[in-house]
Amino acid sequence: MRARVRGCGWRRAGRPLRAALALAVLAPAGPVRRAVAQEARVGRDAVERITFPPLSFHAPTPEHRKVEGVDVLYLRDAAVPLTTVFARFKGGYARFPREQYAAGMALPSLLRYGGTRTLTPDSVDKVLEYYAIQTSFGGGGEAVSASLNTLSEHLPRALDLFGRMLGEPRFDTAQVQMWRLRELESVRRRSDDPQRLAFSEFNRLMFGDHPVGWEMTPADVAPGHPGPEVLRTLHRRIVCRDHLILGVTSDGAWHDVAALLGDLVARIQPCGDSLPASPIPRIRARPGVYVIPRTLKQSVVVMAHPAGVRLSQSRDYFASRIGNLILGSGGFSSRILSRVRTEKGYAYSASSLWTTPRRYDGLIGAITRTRPEKVVPAVRSILDIMREMTREPPSREEVRHAIDETVNSFVFNFDTPARVVSRRMFYLAQDMPADWLERYVRGIERVGPSDVLGVFHRNLRPAEMTILVLGDTTRIGREALETLGPVQVWPVERGR
């Protein structure tokens, strides 16, 4: 017997499982239905017996080259006729005095929008648009970075412009003024976002007069600030050849790209004065409860204390990453969110934090947003969970789940050649091993429950938390807050 479903073209011999299942519904009762059902079972059994060889993933490795003494990480990518070039300069606002903070923050933006010595800002925009060149500029306390992406046939023109933007900035006065006004408006509106305000004030509370604790104030962006001279001074000291690392992904051969990179490097002046050392913060280590009164329906709570685990290859570092996932950064599977939200209903969002800088101590703690009446119960619940983590090891299932989550997401570090190169550049700048990501996975896979217990026992001290609460203190209740520790009103700086 030959069966056919009209319009679909399926035949009995060799038809797929979905055809058999469709026929099982359409066929009449009796021998035909039984035959089709038998075929469906056979097909399912065949599918279930399929085996696949173990997946083997080998991360692409950029070549480490030199151009005029500058480190270059190069990765050939012949998939598309595009070239991406990254430039990273050691140095940022954290290396300079507080009065130069605004200039340091403005520098990356003005490299992009401030024009060049020979091109106005509008002319730069027209060239970028005409050749369909994409650029990005950014920075932080320790580095200034930039990138471009272009069709490889336009690479000579793109790198010529890129070199002018980096090495010969105009710092157009109209663009400086526009940056200043945007930043001033951002300062004025900071209090409109309770979470942003709480985070910035907590950083100021914990780090004081250190770059981590700095925030823009109206005085930083007063008329005439940042001035052209301070911008040029910072530019000379940061955007210079000795501080530069380059990264490239391209469909072109290295010898073709290298010649163009040489022209780019030639536009970047050698460094003159050495950079000041980045300051080491003195982090607040005194427990207490600080409140910022605001009449809000939702309160923001940030709590933390210093922790000595740093970015490294130590066993404690890897255990801290797994421990943080279990404690609260792992979403619904983590203990904090599971208990504070799912079991208790105190808050919609709650998570842990554990920062691990390379050169100095970080913070360990938690964050939540909740109704004023639930602030103290939520905080107490989080502190109870923290105490549990210092006394008993997590289950093997919790550790296995956290490891699998980390390892399974590992491949996304390599989803594009550009990401591979940019990450390698960061590790090179941080004096990390070139194969750090592979070492990271191996370290994560070795973490066990006793490692997690040990790192929490040595580093987590729930009774020593500094707690900042931004919210309606009349509804929270001062007496309730005082059960957590001595309460002080935290003064928000003017303009914040």
For domain 288-489, the CATH class is: alpha beta
pTM: 0.85
What's the mean pLDDT in 328-351? 96
- The CATH 3.30.830.10 domain(s) of the chain lie at 63-267, 288-489
The predicted pLDDT at position 39 comes to 60
Q: Can you say how many angstroms the Cα of residue 153 is from the centroid of all Cα atoms in its chain?
A: 33
What's the mean pLDDT in 393-413? 93
Q: Which of these, 95, 86, 111, lies nearest to 235 by C-alpha position? A: 111
pLDDT in tens, 185-225: 999 999 999 999 999 999 999 999 999 999 999 999 999 99
Angle at 99 between CA 98 and CA 101, to 5 degrees: 65
pLDDT in tens, 240-293: 999 999 999 999 999 999 999 999 999 999 998 889 999 999 999 999 999 999
Average pLDDT, the chain: 91
Which SS3 state, helix, strand or coil, does residue 200 take? helix
The predicted pLDDT at position 291 comes to 98
pLDDT in tens, 8-37: 433 334 444 444 434 344 445 565 556 555
Between CA 265 and CA 167 the distance in angstroms is: 9
Q: Are 355 and 363 in contact (CB under 8 A)?
A: yes
Terminal-residue alpha carbon distance, the chain = 82
**Whether the predicted pLDDT of 1 surpasses 50:** no
Q: Map tokens 């069966």 to a residue.
A: 3
Instruction: Using a pLDDT cut of 90, give the percent of the chain over it.
Output: 83
DSSP E strands, 344-496: 347-354, 362-370, 466-471, 487-489
pLDDT in tens, 81-120: 999 999 999 999 999 999 999 999 999 999 999 999 999 9
pLDDT in tens, 282-326: 999 999 999 999 999 999 999 999 999 999 999 999 999 999 999
Choice between 47 and 330, residue whose per-residue pLDDT is larger = 330
The predicted pLDDT at position 285 comes to 96
Q: Which of 46-50, 391-395, 430-434, 454-458 has the lowest mean pLDDT?
A: 46-50
Between CA 85 and CA 105 the distance in angstroms is: 23
Between CA 443 and CA 446 the distance in angstroms is: 5
Whole-number Cα distances in Å, 461 to 89, 307, 336, 403: 38, 9, 16, 24
The predicted pLDDT at position 23 comes to 39
The predicted pLDDT at position 279 comes to 95
Query: Checking phi first, is residue 95 left (phi over 0); if not, alpha (psi -120 to 50) or beta?
Result: alpha
The predicted pLDDT at position 410 comes to 81
The predicted pLDDT at position 357 comes to 96
Q: Map tokens 């399912």 to a residue.
A: 44
Q: Are 107 and 231 in contact (CB under 8 A)?
A: yes
Angle at 343 between CA 342 and CA 345, to 5 degrees: 70
What's the mean pLDDT in 347-352? 96
Which residue type sits at 11?
A: R
**Whether the predicted pLDDT of 475 surpasses 60:** yes
Between CA 496 and CA 476 the distance in angstroms is: 23
Which SS3 state, helix, strand or coil, does residue 72 take? strand
The predicted pLDDT at position 54 comes to 72
The predicted pLDDT at position 435 comes to 87
**Whether the predicted pLDDT of 48 surpasses 90:** no
**Whether the predicted pLDDT of 164 surpasses 70:** yes
Choice between 54 and 307, residue whose per-residue pLDDT is larger = 307
Q: What is the DSSP string of 390-429?
A: HHSPPPHHHHHHHHHHHHHTGGGGGSSHHHHHHHHHHHHH
The predicted pLDDT at position 33 comes to 58
Strands 244-250 and 82-90: antiparallel
The predicted pLDDT at position 411 comes to 79
Q: Can you say how many angstroms the Cα of residue 489 is from the centroid of all Cα atoms in its chain?
A: 32
The predicted pLDDT at position 41 comes to 62
Which CATH architecture group holds 63-267? 2-Layer Sandwich (3.30)
Instruction: Using a pLDDT cut of 70, give the percent of the chain over it.
Output: 90
